[in-house]
Structure 1
Amino acid sequence: MSAASPDPIATADEFAARSGVLPAQELRALAASGALAAEPGLLADQIQPASLDLRLGRRAWRVRASFLAGRRATVSDRLAEFAMHEIDLGPGAVLETGCVYVVELAERLALPAGVSAAANAKSSTGRLDLFTRLIGDRQAEFDRVEAGYAGPLHVEISPRTFSVLVRPGARLNQLRLRAGHAVIADEALRALHRAEPLVDTDEALIDGGLGFSVDLSPQAADGTVGWRARRHSGLIDLDRIGHYPVGAFWEPVRAQTASGGIILDPGAFYILVSREAVSVPPATAAEMVPYMAVAGEFRVHYAGFFDPGFGHREAGGQGSRGVLEVRCHEAPFALEHGQMVGRLVYERMRARPDLLYGRDIGSNYQGQALKLSKHFQSP
């Protein structure tokens, strides 16, 4: 891919002097330097405004338990202990619900000393209830890669609702690189909102990030407020876009209480939408923070990176609502319209990216409302 960059990366001292999320042009510079590498080589469209799409490699393993490598082991070391059998993804392979898989990724890292990384599922991955977590050699946390890491990457995949057909090159998760501390504190976030509104409501709730609530007003003429996944449905081929009929995999959810709320069933998976339309200015990036009710009744959200330009007027947006992936746990739970369900944490970019979500890339979800993954036909 192209090595051109107006801002080449050199030393850890430069990173220390300029904190923030690395933009597209700096990701390209890292690729040109070999700090981001892949076999086969990186593709230009893997570079997003503030993240890098990761691709599945050819080898996968069905494992008997989820695991972390830990400080003293590699992923390969742990696979020798936990793998049940190896799978060749080359001709395509089915990953079944209720099973845990570890798949090698095509990409590997040789990060500068001042750069760390975090991973998250892509939007379409979360909306299929595919649970993914990045694993690195000698790393003690999922989805986190320490500054200066050099080595291969693997991803744990656990389909929760739909079995899926995958092949090498499938992009299920993405990587965001950071230098130093990038989170925008609440006081600065309030100032940003006053200068450039981050939500379309009269008042922004800012406390540990930008709060948002659930919209349970009808999203269609038939009163649909969201979607609930059907259990024991068919196989989804991740390469088929706009292919599957909605009714074969989802059932509409309508108001179930006198106040217009719904009752979440334990173990069920829902797609809902935020009440607020949010905007991510070009000099910022955001991440939706996983939210759990205090008593642990439900969990909101698996996928979480919002790139610069999401919902922003400069990128052709007029605010975009956040799609919520909701799973209920031990007991039925009454969810009400307008109930607070999570927050967006905003981060500074190290530099304004040279491309924006929605305007410069083929973004599937700019201007979205209630929307299933791109694999389904329009309802």
Structure 2
Amino acid sequence: ISPQKTLFNGNENGVDYQIVSGEHLSAKANPKSTTGRLDVFTRVITDYSHRFEEIRSGYKGKMYLEVVPKSFPIKVKTGHRLNQLRIRHGYTVLSDQDILRTHSSDPMLFTEGGNPVDVDELKVNNGLFLSVNLHASEGKIVGYKAKKHRDYIDLDNINYYEVSEFWEPIYHQPDDHLILEPEAFYIFASKERCRIPEYLAAEMIAYDTGSGELRTHYAGFFDSGFGGRVEDKGARAVLEVRSHDVPFLIEDGQTFCSMKFEPNTEVPKFVYGDDIESNYQGQELRLGKHFKQ
């Protein structure tokens, strides 16, 4: 797929999907982590829906996937998983007070040194805020900027492509500042380390445009178990960032994204982690699994 909009019919053998047949079930879709890190924009479309990525209760019909590679052409085939679906029974998110109470007893956010962030230092406002990390020792990489590349990425090829062919490394600057170029795509890591308890699931929501002309994070879902147990001290969230229209100055520790938490109806039998060979457990700054790292 070249950098243009492509629409796929997700129905196999022409059979209509009935994803959410229960009275109180609905569904929300989002790009998979690897999809977002490749700067591939995807969204699910259903007939007569007034919103992308959302599947209403009782829907039965066709389901389509819009795919737009932004930085690199990609080669896909039937069976490749670009998107993911989260099925909901009702829709309840933790309030800011619930987030603070949960963190007090079961820490979800850690400092770079691995200590739980003090409750008084958590930034909450309709979700838990994370900041961007631009600080490192001299000569260390703090991010990546996508190169415009004519060669395609075959999604079957794991740990295959040289990073230098597709990405420009961004090194630590003495003043911990960086100017993002308009419409360029960047990969950064959060300054904090986060973990999602097994009884919760999380979603990183689109950045509030009132806080800056940029979008962070295509891939919104964080699974139960991400970041491990408390003693594992969490993992950094990888941020997919694009500045729009004008250059945008960012600095180390700048608030960058917000995470909402939903309670699971029950603790999942399988959670994110090494036991199911999850790709990004315990991650630092990391590109998608198709690149040699």
Instruction: Find the residue that maps to 2:62 and give its secondary structure.
Output: strand
How far apart are the structure 2 equivalents of 1:106 and 1:96?
23
Residue 262 of structure 2 is aligned to residue 347 of structure 1: yes
Q: Does 1:118 align with 2:23?
A: no
What RMSD over aligned residues (CA atoms) do the two structures have, in Å? 1.6
**Alignment length, in residue pairs?**
280
Residues 221 and 167 of structure 1: is their aligned pair in 2 closer, same or farther, counting only changes over 3 Å? Answer: farther
CA separation of 1:248 and 1:359: change in aligned 2, threshold 3 A = closer
Shift of 1:296: 4.4
Is the 2:108–2:194 Cα contact (8 Å) retained in structure 1? yes
**Counterpart amino acid of 1:196?**
D
Partners of 1:317 and 1:366 within 8 A in 2: no
Amino acid at match of 1:289: I
1:158 aligns to what SS in structure 2? strand
Letter in 1 for 2:2: E
The aligned residue for residue 224 of structure 1 is 141
**Quick one: distance in 1 between partners of 2:244 and 2:124?**
27
Secondary structure of the corresponding residue to residue 187 of structure 1: helix
- The separation in 1 between residues aligned to 2:219 and 2:249, in whole angstroms, is 23
Please point out which of 93, 101, 120 is paired with 2:6.
101
Deviation at 1:295, TM superposition (A): 6.2
Which residue number in structure 2 is paired with residue 57 of structure 1?
none
Q: TM-score w.r.t. structure 2 length? A: 0.91
The alpha-carbon deviation at position 180 of structure 1 amounts to 1.1
Matched with 1:267 is: 183
- 1:83-109 per-residue CA deviation (whole Å, 9 max, x = no partner) reads xxxxxxxxxxxx101x10111225722
TM-score relative to the length of structure 1: 0.71
* Change in 2 beyond 3 A, CA 1:351/1:295: closer
Q: How many Å separate the matches in 1 of 2:151 and 2:80?
A: 19
| Counterpart mapping for 1:119-134 below 5 A | 119-134=29-44
CA displacement at 1:290 relative to structure 2 = 1.1
Q: 2:228 aligns with which of 298, 309, 312?
A: 312
Q: Give structure 1 stretches of 5+ with no counterpart.
A: 1-94
Q: Deviation of residue 298 (structure 1)?
A: 1.4
Residues 338-347 or 146-155, more deviating: 146-155
Contact 1:214–1:274 (Cα < 8 Å) also in 2: yes
Write the letter of the residue equivalent to 2:156: D
Which amino acid counterpart does residue 181 of structure 1 have in structure 2?
Y
**Alignment check: 8 A CA contact 2:138 2:172 kept:** no
2:238 to 323, 335, 339: 323
Which residue of 2 is the match for residue 373 of structure 1? 288
Report the residue type matching 1:340 in the other structure. Answer: T
Note the C-alpha offset of 1:148: 1.1
Q: Which letter maps to 2:151?
A: G
Q: CA 1:325–1:115 in structure 2 vs 1: closer, same or farther (change >3 Å)?
A: same
Structure 1 counterpart of 2:34, one-letter code: S
1:255 and 1:262 in contact (8 A); partners too: no
Separation in structure 1 between the aligned mates of residue 236 and residue 211 of structure 2, nearest angstrom = 26
